[in-house]
Chains A and B, each alone.
Chain A
Amino acid sequence: MNITNILLTFVVLIIVGVLIKYVIEKNKNAEVEEGIDIDDKTYTIEKMKEFVKRRLDEITKINLYDIGLSEEELKRRKAKKYELKRALKGCTYGDVNDKKYVKELIYDLLFKEYGVTEVNISKAIPFDIPSLLSSQDKFDILLYAYKKDFGYEALAQIIKKYNLATLKYIAGEAKPCYVITKEEIDDIFDKEALVLTFQDKLNVVVQRIYQHYKGYSSIDEIRDMNIDGVSGRSIRTSRKFFKPSCTNRWRLLRTNYRTQSTKSM
Protein backbone atom coordinates (compact mmCIF):
# COMPACT_ATOMS: atom_id res chain seq x y z
CA MET A 1 0.00 0.00 0.00
CA ASN A 2 1.62 3.24 -1.09
CA ILE A 3 1.25 6.67 0.46
CA THR A 4 -1.46 7.78 -2.06
CA ASN A 5 -3.72 4.90 -1.03
CA ILE A 6 -3.30 5.73 2.65
CA LEU A 7 -4.11 9.37 1.99
CA LEU A 8 -7.16 8.46 -0.10
CA THR A 9 -8.39 6.13 2.67
CA PHE A 10 -8.07 8.99 5.16
CA VAL A 11 -9.92 11.36 2.84
CA VAL A 12 -12.74 8.83 2.37
CA LEU A 13 -12.93 8.23 6.13
CA ILE A 14 -13.08 11.97 6.83
CA ILE A 15 -15.82 12.48 4.22
CA VAL A 16 -17.85 9.57 5.66
CA GLY A 17 -17.35 10.96 9.18
CA VAL A 18 -18.50 14.43 8.15
CA LEU A 19 -21.53 12.95 6.35
CA ILE A 20 -22.53 10.86 9.40
CA LYS A 21 -22.17 13.91 11.64
CA TYR A 22 -24.28 15.98 9.22
CA VAL A 23 -27.03 13.34 9.12
CA ILE A 24 -27.03 13.04 12.93
CA GLU A 25 -27.22 16.82 13.37
CA LYS A 26 -29.98 17.04 10.77
CA ASN A 27 -32.01 14.34 12.50
CA LYS A 28 -31.44 15.98 15.87
CA ASN A 29 -32.78 19.30 14.64
CA ALA A 30 -35.54 17.81 12.51
CA GLU A 31 -39.09 18.23 13.74
CA VAL A 32 -40.78 15.08 15.03
CA GLU A 33 -43.58 15.35 12.52
CA GLU A 34 -43.69 16.68 9.03
CA GLY A 35 -46.30 19.15 7.84
CA ILE A 36 -49.72 17.95 6.81
CA ASP A 37 -50.34 17.58 3.09
CA ILE A 38 -53.58 19.31 2.32
CA ASP A 39 -55.85 17.92 -0.37
CA ASP A 40 -59.61 17.42 -0.81
CA LYS A 41 -59.76 14.52 1.59
CA THR A 42 -57.57 16.00 4.34
CA TYR A 43 -60.45 17.18 6.48
CA THR A 44 -62.69 14.16 6.13
CA ILE A 45 -63.57 12.20 9.26
CA GLU A 46 -61.55 9.20 8.05
CA LYS A 47 -58.36 11.19 7.51
CA MET A 48 -58.75 13.04 10.78
CA LYS A 49 -59.29 9.74 12.59
CA GLU A 50 -56.10 8.36 11.04
CA PHE A 51 -54.19 11.45 12.15
CA VAL A 52 -55.53 11.28 15.72
CA LYS A 53 -54.71 7.58 15.90
CA ARG A 54 -51.18 8.16 14.63
CA ARG A 55 -50.50 11.08 16.99
CA LEU A 56 -51.84 9.33 20.06
CA ASP A 57 -49.72 6.30 19.14
CA GLU A 58 -46.68 8.56 18.82
CA ILE A 59 -47.34 10.16 22.19
CA THR A 60 -47.90 6.90 24.04
CA LYS A 61 -45.19 4.86 22.34
CA ILE A 62 -42.34 7.36 22.31
CA ASN A 63 -39.28 6.40 24.33
CA LEU A 64 -38.88 9.35 26.68
CA TYR A 65 -35.27 8.40 27.46
CA ASP A 66 -34.34 9.15 23.83
CA ILE A 67 -35.37 12.80 23.74
CA GLY A 68 -32.87 14.11 26.26
CA LEU A 69 -35.11 15.35 29.06
CA SER A 70 -33.94 16.43 32.49
CA GLU A 71 -34.62 14.10 35.43
CA GLU A 72 -37.56 16.14 36.70
CA GLU A 73 -39.05 16.66 33.25
CA LEU A 74 -38.72 12.94 32.54
CA LYS A 75 -40.59 12.16 35.76
CA ARG A 76 -43.42 14.52 34.83
CA ARG A 77 -43.65 13.33 31.25
CA LYS A 78 -43.75 9.73 32.41
CA ALA A 79 -46.62 10.58 34.76
CA LYS A 80 -48.52 12.35 31.97
CA LYS A 81 -47.88 9.51 29.52
CA TYR A 82 -49.11 7.00 32.08
CA GLU A 83 -52.21 9.14 32.67
CA LEU A 84 -52.96 9.16 28.95
CA LYS A 85 -52.37 5.42 28.60
CA ARG A 86 -54.72 4.81 31.51
CA ALA A 87 -57.35 7.08 29.98
CA LEU A 88 -57.07 5.38 26.58
CA LYS A 89 -57.53 2.03 28.27
CA GLY A 90 -60.33 3.30 30.50
CA CYS A 91 -62.39 4.82 27.73
CA THR A 92 -62.71 1.50 25.94
CA TYR A 93 -64.53 0.24 29.05
CA GLY A 94 -66.90 3.19 28.92
CA ASP A 95 -65.39 5.41 31.66
CA VAL A 96 -67.01 8.82 31.22
CA ASN A 97 -64.09 10.77 32.73
CA ASP A 98 -61.53 9.02 30.57
CA LYS A 99 -63.74 9.71 27.58
CA LYS A 100 -63.80 13.43 28.43
CA TYR A 101 -60.00 13.46 28.77
CA VAL A 102 -59.38 11.69 25.46
CA LYS A 103 -61.91 13.92 23.71
CA GLU A 104 -60.18 17.04 25.06
CA LEU A 105 -56.91 15.73 23.63
CA ILE A 106 -58.46 14.96 20.26
CA TYR A 107 -59.94 18.48 20.24
CA ASP A 108 -56.49 20.00 20.84
CA LEU A 109 -54.80 17.81 18.25
CA LEU A 110 -57.31 18.74 15.57
CA PHE A 111 -57.44 22.42 16.42
CA LYS A 112 -53.77 23.13 17.13
CA GLU A 113 -51.92 20.61 14.98
CA TYR A 114 -54.22 19.49 12.19
CA GLY A 115 -55.40 23.02 11.45
CA VAL A 116 -59.15 22.50 11.52
CA THR A 117 -60.86 25.84 10.97
CA GLU A 118 -64.34 27.29 10.57
CA VAL A 119 -64.00 26.84 6.79
CA ASN A 120 -62.61 23.34 6.43
CA ILE A 121 -64.64 21.71 9.22
CA SER A 122 -67.59 21.52 6.80
CA LYS A 123 -65.67 18.93 4.79
CA ALA A 124 -66.01 16.53 7.72
CA ILE A 125 -69.68 17.22 8.44
CA PRO A 126 -71.52 19.71 6.17
CA PHE A 127 -72.81 21.94 8.99
CA ASP A 128 -73.51 24.85 6.64
CA ILE A 129 -75.76 22.89 4.26
CA PRO A 130 -78.47 21.14 6.30
CA SER A 131 -79.78 19.29 3.24
CA LEU A 132 -76.48 17.40 3.00
CA LEU A 133 -76.54 16.32 6.65
CA SER A 134 -77.34 12.68 7.27
CA SER A 135 -79.84 11.74 9.97
CA GLN A 136 -76.98 10.59 12.16
CA ASP A 137 -75.28 13.98 11.75
CA LYS A 138 -78.51 15.70 12.71
CA PHE A 139 -79.05 13.44 15.71
CA ASP A 140 -75.43 13.98 16.87
CA ILE A 141 -75.84 17.76 16.59
CA LEU A 142 -79.18 17.68 18.41
CA LEU A 143 -77.86 15.49 21.20
CA TYR A 144 -74.77 17.69 21.57
CA ALA A 145 -76.86 20.86 21.79
CA TYR A 146 -79.21 19.32 24.35
CA LYS A 147 -76.30 17.85 26.31
CA LYS A 148 -74.90 21.36 26.73
CA ASP A 149 -78.10 22.42 28.49
CA PHE A 150 -79.37 19.26 30.13
CA GLY A 151 -76.25 17.10 30.58
CA TYR A 152 -77.01 13.42 30.76
CA GLU A 153 -80.76 14.10 30.64
CA ALA A 154 -80.44 15.29 27.02
CA LEU A 155 -81.96 12.24 25.36
CA ALA A 156 -84.82 12.09 27.86
CA GLN A 157 -85.46 15.78 27.23
CA ILE A 158 -85.62 15.34 23.44
CA ILE A 159 -88.00 12.40 23.79
CA LYS A 160 -90.14 14.29 26.29
CA LYS A 161 -90.22 17.57 24.38
CA TYR A 162 -91.20 16.02 21.04
CA ASN A 163 -93.32 13.24 22.54
CA LEU A 164 -91.31 10.51 20.84
CA ALA A 165 -92.12 7.72 23.29
CA THR A 166 -95.39 6.78 21.58
CA LEU A 167 -96.52 3.70 19.69
CA LYS A 168 -96.19 4.17 15.94
CA TYR A 169 -97.11 2.24 12.86
CA ILE A 170 -94.15 1.82 10.52
CA ALA A 171 -94.48 0.95 6.85
CA GLY A 172 -93.97 -2.78 6.37
CA GLU A 173 -94.67 -3.64 10.01
CA ALA A 174 -97.95 -5.23 11.04
CA LYS A 175 -97.77 -4.25 14.70
CA PRO A 176 -97.18 -0.77 16.16
CA CYS A 177 -93.80 -0.25 17.83
CA TYR A 178 -91.80 2.27 19.84
CA VAL A 179 -89.37 3.74 17.38
CA ILE A 180 -87.74 7.08 16.58
CA THR A 181 -87.65 7.42 12.84
CA LYS A 182 -85.29 9.22 10.51
CA GLU A 183 -88.09 11.59 9.49
CA GLU A 184 -88.72 12.54 13.11
CA ILE A 185 -85.05 13.39 13.62
CA ASP A 186 -85.05 15.50 10.41
CA ASP A 187 -88.21 17.24 11.57
CA ILE A 188 -86.84 17.99 15.05
CA PHE A 189 -83.60 19.29 13.54
CA ASP A 190 -85.54 21.69 11.30
CA LYS A 191 -87.69 22.87 14.21
CA GLU A 192 -84.73 23.49 16.51
CA ALA A 193 -82.84 25.62 13.91
CA LEU A 194 -79.64 25.38 15.93
CA VAL A 195 -76.88 27.94 15.49
CA LEU A 196 -73.52 26.31 16.11
CA THR A 197 -70.27 28.06 16.91
CA PHE A 198 -66.96 26.70 15.63
CA GLN A 199 -66.30 25.14 19.04
CA ASP A 200 -69.65 23.34 18.89
CA LYS A 201 -68.95 22.07 15.39
CA LEU A 202 -65.52 20.83 16.38
CA ASN A 203 -66.95 19.12 19.44
CA VAL A 204 -69.45 17.25 17.24
CA VAL A 205 -66.60 16.18 14.93
CA VAL A 206 -64.47 15.15 17.91
CA GLN A 207 -67.31 13.01 19.25
CA ARG A 208 -67.71 11.35 15.83
CA ILE A 209 -63.99 10.56 15.65
CA TYR A 210 -63.92 9.38 19.23
CA GLN A 211 -66.89 7.06 18.88
CA HIS A 212 -65.28 5.26 15.95
CA TYR A 213 -61.81 5.25 17.46
CA LYS A 214 -62.26 4.37 21.13
CA GLY A 215 -65.97 4.62 21.81
CA TYR A 216 -69.00 2.48 21.22
CA SER A 217 -69.79 3.65 17.70
CA SER A 218 -73.30 5.03 17.12
CA ILE A 219 -74.55 4.24 20.63
CA ASP A 220 -71.58 5.89 22.35
CA GLU A 221 -73.34 9.08 23.41
CA ILE A 222 -76.72 7.41 24.00
CA ARG A 223 -75.08 4.91 26.32
CA ASP A 224 -73.79 7.72 28.56
CA MET A 225 -77.25 9.23 29.02
CA ASN A 226 -79.35 8.63 32.09
CA ILE A 227 -81.21 5.67 30.65
CA ASP A 228 -81.79 2.11 31.79
CA GLY A 229 -79.59 0.74 29.02
CA VAL A 230 -79.11 0.15 25.35
CA SER A 231 -80.31 -3.06 23.85
CA GLY A 232 -78.96 -4.48 20.58
CA ARG A 233 -80.01 -7.54 18.65
CA SER A 234 -78.53 -9.37 15.68
CA ILE A 235 -79.23 -12.50 13.72
CA ARG A 236 -76.16 -14.25 15.06
CA THR A 237 -76.25 -13.32 18.73
CA SER A 238 -79.01 -13.47 21.22
CA ARG A 239 -80.47 -10.27 22.64
CA LYS A 240 -77.91 -8.22 24.58
CA PHE A 241 -78.68 -5.55 27.10
CA PHE A 242 -76.08 -2.89 27.81
CA LYS A 243 -76.34 -0.81 30.92
CA PRO A 244 -74.47 2.48 31.07
CA SER A 245 -73.27 1.64 34.55
CA CYS A 246 -71.86 -1.71 33.49
CA THR A 247 -68.56 -2.47 31.83
CA ASN A 248 -69.30 -3.45 28.27
CA ARG A 249 -66.77 -4.96 25.99
CA TRP A 250 -66.28 -3.68 22.48
CA ARG A 251 -66.36 -7.26 21.14
CA LEU A 252 -69.98 -7.56 22.17
CA LEU A 253 -70.92 -4.27 20.63
CA ARG A 254 -69.38 -4.94 17.26
CA THR A 255 -72.50 -6.86 16.38
CA ASN A 256 -74.25 -3.52 16.56
CA TYR A 257 -72.93 -2.58 13.14
CA ARG A 258 -75.27 -5.05 11.54
CA THR A 259 -78.11 -4.84 13.98
CA GLN A 260 -81.16 -2.83 14.50
CA SER A 261 -80.79 -1.18 17.86
CA THR A 262 -83.62 -0.09 20.05
CA LYS A 263 -83.42 2.30 22.91
CA SER A 264 -85.21 1.51 26.07
CA MET A 265 -85.89 4.22 28.54
Chain B
Amino acid sequence: MAIVSFWSNGREETGKSSAIVALSTLLGVNHNYKILVLDTKYNDNFYQDCFWKEDKTIKMINSNNAKTDIGHGISGLSKAILSNKTSPEIVTNYTKIVFKDRLELLMDTNVEPEEYERHKTIFTDIVKMANKYYDLVFIDIDSSLDNKLTDSLLEISNLVVVCLPQKLRKINEYLQLKEENLVLRSKPILPLIGRYDKHSKYNAKNVSRYIKEKRGICTIPYNTLFFEACNEATVADFFIKFRKINSKDRNAMFIADVRQTAEKIISRLQELQMRM
Protein backbone atom coordinates (compact mmCIF):
# COMPACT_ATOMS: atom_id res chain seq x y z
CA MET B 1 0.00 0.00 0.00
CA ALA B 2 2.60 2.57 1.06
CA ILE B 3 6.29 2.98 1.61
CA VAL B 4 7.44 5.15 4.50
CA SER B 5 11.14 6.01 4.69
CA PHE B 6 12.77 7.11 7.91
CA TRP B 7 15.73 9.29 7.10
CA SER B 8 18.12 11.46 9.07
CA ASN B 9 20.94 13.68 7.92
CA GLY B 10 24.38 12.51 8.99
CA ARG B 11 25.40 10.15 11.74
CA GLU B 12 23.72 12.13 14.52
CA GLU B 13 21.79 10.10 17.12
CA THR B 14 18.21 10.97 16.28
CA GLY B 15 16.38 7.98 17.75
CA LYS B 16 15.32 6.92 14.24
CA SER B 17 15.42 3.16 14.79
CA SER B 18 13.69 3.39 18.16
CA ALA B 19 11.01 5.58 16.59
CA ILE B 20 10.43 2.91 13.91
CA VAL B 21 10.25 0.20 16.57
CA ALA B 22 7.74 2.20 18.62
CA LEU B 23 5.55 3.19 15.66
CA SER B 24 5.53 -0.21 13.96
CA THR B 25 4.82 -2.08 17.20
CA LEU B 26 2.01 0.28 18.15
CA LEU B 27 0.47 -0.02 14.67
CA GLY B 28 0.88 -3.79 14.86
CA VAL B 29 -0.90 -3.94 18.21
CA ASN B 30 -3.67 -1.41 17.57
CA HIS B 31 -4.34 -1.70 13.85
CA ASN B 32 -4.88 -4.44 11.37
CA TYR B 33 -2.14 -3.47 8.91
CA LYS B 34 0.40 -5.87 7.52
CA ILE B 35 3.69 -4.08 8.23
CA LEU B 36 7.24 -4.81 7.14
CA VAL B 37 10.26 -3.06 8.61
CA LEU B 38 13.36 -3.14 6.42
CA ASP B 39 16.64 -2.47 8.18
CA THR B 40 19.30 -1.29 5.74
CA LYS B 41 22.08 -1.06 8.33
CA TYR B 42 25.09 -3.37 8.21
CA ASN B 43 24.98 -6.17 10.80
CA ASP B 44 22.67 -4.18 13.05
CA ASN B 45 21.43 -5.94 16.18
CA PHE B 46 19.13 -3.19 17.40
CA TYR B 47 15.90 -4.73 16.09
CA GLN B 48 17.01 -8.17 17.22
CA ASP B 49 17.53 -6.85 20.75
CA CYS B 50 14.14 -5.15 20.73
CA PHE B 51 12.11 -8.26 20.02
CA TRP B 52 14.09 -11.47 20.53
CA LYS B 53 16.20 -12.65 23.44
CA GLU B 54 19.51 -14.29 22.59
CA ASP B 55 19.04 -17.50 24.51
CA LYS B 56 21.91 -20.03 24.32
CA THR B 57 19.64 -23.02 23.66
CA ILE B 58 17.58 -21.14 21.07
CA LYS B 59 20.80 -19.98 19.41
CA MET B 60 22.04 -23.57 19.17
CA ILE B 61 18.71 -24.85 17.81
CA ASN B 62 18.66 -21.99 15.31
CA SER B 63 22.19 -22.73 14.16
CA ASN B 64 21.28 -26.42 13.70
CA ASN B 65 18.12 -25.48 11.84
CA ALA B 66 20.00 -22.94 9.73
CA LYS B 67 22.09 -25.75 8.26
CA THR B 68 18.98 -27.24 6.74
CA ASP B 69 17.77 -23.85 5.52
CA ILE B 70 18.71 -22.09 2.31
CA GLY B 71 19.00 -18.64 3.82
CA HIS B 72 17.02 -16.01 5.64
CA GLY B 73 16.88 -12.26 5.97
CA ILE B 74 18.03 -9.87 3.28
CA SER B 75 20.85 -12.19 2.13
CA GLY B 76 18.44 -15.07 1.56
CA LEU B 77 15.91 -12.88 -0.21
CA SER B 78 18.54 -11.24 -2.38
CA LYS B 79 19.51 -14.66 -3.76
CA ALA B 80 15.95 -15.13 -4.92
CA ILE B 81 15.67 -11.61 -6.32
CA LEU B 82 19.02 -11.77 -8.11
CA SER B 83 17.78 -14.87 -9.88
CA ASN B 84 14.57 -13.09 -10.95
CA LYS B 85 12.26 -14.93 -8.58
CA THR B 86 10.06 -11.95 -8.06
CA SER B 87 6.73 -12.97 -6.63
CA PRO B 88 5.76 -10.64 -3.73
CA GLU B 89 4.82 -13.61 -1.52
CA ILE B 90 8.41 -14.80 -1.29
CA VAL B 91 9.41 -11.75 0.79
CA THR B 92 7.51 -13.09 3.77
CA ASN B 93 9.49 -16.37 3.69
CA TYR B 94 12.66 -14.51 4.64
CA THR B 95 11.36 -12.21 7.39
CA LYS B 96 11.25 -12.54 11.16
CA ILE B 97 7.80 -12.38 12.71
CA VAL B 98 6.92 -10.14 15.62
CA PHE B 99 3.13 -10.35 15.27
CA LYS B 100 1.85 -12.92 12.80
CA ASP B 101 0.30 -11.28 9.71
CA ARG B 102 0.87 -7.84 11.26
CA LEU B 103 4.48 -7.01 11.92
CA GLU B 104 7.51 -8.58 10.27
CA LEU B 105 11.15 -7.57 10.12
CA LEU B 106 13.62 -8.00 7.30
CA MET B 107 17.23 -7.62 8.34
CA ASP B 108 20.64 -9.21 8.37
CA THR B 109 22.68 -9.68 11.51
CA ASN B 110 25.61 -11.81 10.41
CA VAL B 111 26.87 -11.04 6.92
CA GLU B 112 30.26 -10.38 5.43
CA PRO B 113 30.98 -6.80 4.25
CA GLU B 114 31.30 -7.91 0.59
CA GLU B 115 27.95 -9.66 0.82
CA TYR B 116 26.32 -6.55 2.27
CA GLU B 117 27.80 -4.41 -0.53
CA ARG B 118 26.28 -6.78 -3.07
CA HIS B 119 22.88 -6.87 -1.37
CA LYS B 120 22.43 -3.17 -0.77
CA THR B 121 22.10 -2.55 -4.49
CA ILE B 122 18.81 -4.42 -4.51
CA PHE B 123 17.16 -2.70 -1.54
CA THR B 124 14.92 -0.79 -3.92
CA ASP B 125 13.82 -4.01 -5.62
CA ILE B 126 13.07 -5.57 -2.24
CA VAL B 127 10.99 -2.57 -1.18
CA LYS B 128 9.08 -2.42 -4.46
CA MET B 129 8.28 -6.11 -4.22
CA ALA B 130 7.36 -5.95 -0.52
CA ASN B 131 5.04 -3.03 -1.23
CA LYS B 132 2.84 -5.36 -3.27
CA TYR B 133 2.40 -7.75 -0.36
CA TYR B 134 2.41 -5.55 2.75
CA ASP B 135 0.14 -2.63 3.65
CA LEU B 136 2.99 -0.58 5.06
CA VAL B 137 6.71 -0.84 4.43
CA PHE B 138 8.92 1.08 6.85
CA ILE B 139 12.51 1.60 5.69
CA ASP B 140 15.22 2.44 8.17
CA ILE B 141 17.62 4.28 5.84
CA ASP B 142 21.16 3.95 7.08
CA SER B 143 23.01 7.28 7.11
CA SER B 144 26.16 5.56 5.83
CA LEU B 145 24.48 4.53 2.57
CA ASP B 146 25.75 6.42 -0.46
CA ASN B 147 23.66 9.33 -1.73
CA LYS B 148 22.57 7.55 -4.89
CA LEU B 149 21.12 4.61 -2.99
CA THR B 150 19.51 6.86 -0.37
CA ASP B 151 17.94 8.96 -3.13
CA SER B 152 16.62 5.90 -4.91
CA LEU B 153 15.01 4.70 -1.68
CA LEU B 154 13.55 8.14 -1.00
CA GLU B 155 12.34 8.34 -4.59
CA ILE B 156 10.14 5.24 -4.28
CA SER B 157 8.76 6.30 -0.89
CA ASN B 158 5.25 7.67 -0.49
CA LEU B 159 6.21 9.55 2.65
CA VAL B 160 9.57 10.56 4.08
CA VAL B 161 9.82 10.85 7.85
CA VAL B 162 12.79 13.12 8.56
CA CYS B 163 14.24 12.41 11.99
CA LEU B 164 15.72 15.49 13.63
CA PRO B 165 17.67 15.95 16.83
CA GLN B 166 17.01 18.93 19.11
CA LYS B 167 20.12 20.69 17.83
CA LEU B 168 20.08 24.00 16.00
CA ARG B 169 23.01 23.18 13.72
CA LYS B 170 21.35 19.96 12.53
CA ILE B 171 18.04 21.71 12.01
CA ASN B 172 19.75 24.37 9.89
CA GLU B 173 21.56 21.66 7.91
CA TYR B 174 18.23 19.97 7.24
CA LEU B 175 16.70 23.23 6.02
CA GLN B 176 19.61 23.75 3.65
CA LEU B 177 19.47 20.18 2.38
CA LYS B 178 15.73 20.45 1.82
CA GLU B 179 16.39 23.38 -0.49
CA GLU B 180 19.21 21.67 -2.38
CA ASN B 181 18.09 18.05 -2.60
CA LEU B 182 15.65 17.52 -5.47
CA VAL B 183 14.28 14.26 -4.10
CA LEU B 184 13.56 15.74 -0.68
CA ARG B 185 11.94 18.76 -2.28
CA SER B 186 9.60 16.63 -4.34
CA LYS B 187 8.50 14.22 -1.61
CA PRO B 188 5.92 14.68 1.14
CA ILE B 189 7.85 15.14 4.37
CA LEU B 190 6.91 14.55 7.98
CA PRO B 191 9.48 15.93 10.45
CA LEU B 192 9.92 13.91 13.61
CA ILE B 193 11.98 14.55 16.72
CA GLY B 194 13.20 11.34 18.33
CA ARG B 195 14.33 11.10 21.99
CA TYR B 196 12.30 14.27 22.50
CA ASP B 197 12.72 16.41 25.58
CA LYS B 198 9.73 18.74 25.98
CA HIS B 199 11.62 21.00 28.38
CA SER B 200 14.22 21.92 25.78
CA LYS B 201 14.21 25.31 24.12
CA TYR B 202 14.02 23.45 20.81
CA ASN B 203 10.64 21.95 21.54
CA ALA B 204 8.19 20.83 18.87
CA LYS B 205 6.35 24.17 18.81
CA ASN B 206 9.49 26.29 18.40
CA VAL B 207 11.12 23.98 15.89
CA SER B 208 7.98 23.78 13.74
CA ARG B 209 7.80 27.60 13.77
CA TYR B 210 11.51 27.80 12.89
CA ILE B 211 11.32 25.39 9.96
CA LYS B 212 7.94 26.82 8.91
CA GLU B 213 6.14 23.51 9.18
CA LYS B 214 2.48 24.44 9.36
CA ARG B 215 1.26 20.92 10.11
CA GLY B 216 3.43 20.74 13.22
CA ILE B 217 6.16 18.32 14.16
CA CYS B 218 5.77 14.77 15.43
CA THR B 219 7.64 13.65 18.50
CA ILE B 220 8.73 10.43 20.16
CA PRO B 221 9.75 11.39 23.71
CA TYR B 222 12.54 9.76 25.64
CA ASN B 223 11.01 7.10 27.85
CA THR B 224 13.10 5.11 30.27
CA LEU B 225 10.87 2.04 30.31
CA PHE B 226 10.69 1.92 26.52
CA PHE B 227 14.45 2.18 26.08
CA GLU B 228 14.91 -0.55 28.70
CA ALA B 229 12.42 -2.67 26.78
CA CYS B 230 14.50 -2.10 23.63
CA ASN B 231 17.46 -3.68 25.39
CA GLU B 232 15.56 -6.51 27.01
CA ALA B 233 13.55 -7.68 23.99
CA THR B 234 10.26 -6.71 25.63
CA VAL B 235 9.02 -3.99 23.27
CA ALA B 236 6.03 -6.07 22.16
CA ASP B 237 5.05 -6.71 25.80
CA PHE B 238 5.55 -3.02 26.58
CA PHE B 239 2.98 -1.88 24.01
CA ILE B 240 0.54 -4.67 24.82
CA LYS B 241 0.78 -3.76 28.51
CA PHE B 242 0.12 -0.07 27.86
CA ARG B 243 -2.61 -0.61 25.29
CA LYS B 244 -5.00 0.97 27.74
CA ILE B 245 -3.14 3.42 29.92
CA ASN B 246 -4.21 5.70 32.73
CA SER B 247 -3.62 9.36 31.82
CA LYS B 248 -1.87 9.84 35.20
CA ASP B 249 0.72 7.12 34.39
CA ARG B 250 4.23 8.49 33.78
CA ASN B 251 4.38 6.57 30.49
CA ALA B 252 1.08 8.02 29.24
CA MET B 253 2.74 10.92 27.44
CA PHE B 254 5.06 8.60 25.53
CA ILE B 255 2.24 6.32 24.45
CA ALA B 256 0.08 9.31 23.50
CA ASP B 257 2.85 10.85 21.38
CA VAL B 258 3.63 7.56 19.61
CA ARG B 259 -0.08 7.06 18.96
CA GLN B 260 -0.42 10.61 17.64
CA THR B 261 2.59 10.18 15.33
CA ALA B 262 1.25 6.84 14.04
CA GLU B 263 -2.15 8.42 13.38
CA LYS B 264 -0.49 11.32 11.60
CA ILE B 265 1.47 8.97 9.33
CA ILE B 266 -1.67 7.01 8.48
CA SER B 267 -3.72 10.16 7.83
CA ARG B 268 -0.96 11.65 5.65
CA LEU B 269 -0.81 8.45 3.63
CA GLN B 270 -4.58 8.36 3.25
CA GLU B 271 -4.55 12.01 2.20
CA LEU B 272 -1.85 11.30 -0.39
CA GLN B 273 -3.78 8.31 -1.66
CA MET B 274 -6.91 10.44 -2.06
CA ARG B 275 -4.96 12.96 -4.13
CA MET B 276 -3.69 10.30 -6.54
Contact = CB atoms under 8 A, between A and B. Distances in A.
Contact of B93 (A76, A87, A100, A108): A76
* A69, A87, A104: residue with the most chain B Cβ atoms closer than 10 Å: A104
Given A58-B68, A62-B68, A76 B82 contact: no
Contacts of A58: 67-68
A79 B72 CA distance: 12
Contacts, number: 66
Interface SS majority for chain B? helix
A80 B70 contact: yes
B85 interface: yes
B93 A79 contact: yes
A105 B93 contact: no
Interface stretch (B45-53, B57-65, B203-211, B243-251): B57-65
A32 interface: yes
Given A31-B63, A58-B68, A80-B69, A97 B93 contact: no
B83 interface: yes
Interface residues on B, range: 20 to 34
A140 B179 CA distance: 51
Interface string A12-30: 0000000000000000010
A105 B69 contact: no
Given A83-B85, A108-B71, A101 B93 contact: no
Given A72-B100, A80-B93, A101 B67 contact: no
A141 B91 CA distance: 34
A77 interface: yes
Interface centre among B61, B68, B71, B94 (most CB of A within 10 A): B68
B69 A97 contact: no
A87 B70 CA distance: 12
Contacts of B84: 97, 100
B90 interface: yes
Nearest to B110: A112
Q: By DSSP majority rule, is chain A's interface helix, strand, loop, or mixed?
A: helix
Nearest to A56: B70
Contacts of A80: 69-71, 76, 93
Contacts of B93: 76, 79-80, 83
A59 interface: yes
B250 to A, nearest CB: 36
A67 interface: yes
A101 B79 contact: yes
A223 B82 CA distance: 20
A97 B83 contact: yes
22 contacts: A29-B60, A31-B67, A32-B67, A32-B68, A33-B67, A67-B65, A67-B68, A72-B97, A77-B69, A83-B70, A83-B93, A99-B83, A100-B82, A101-B83, A104-B79, A104-B82, A105-B70, A105-B79, A108-B75, A108-B79, A111-B112, A199-B114
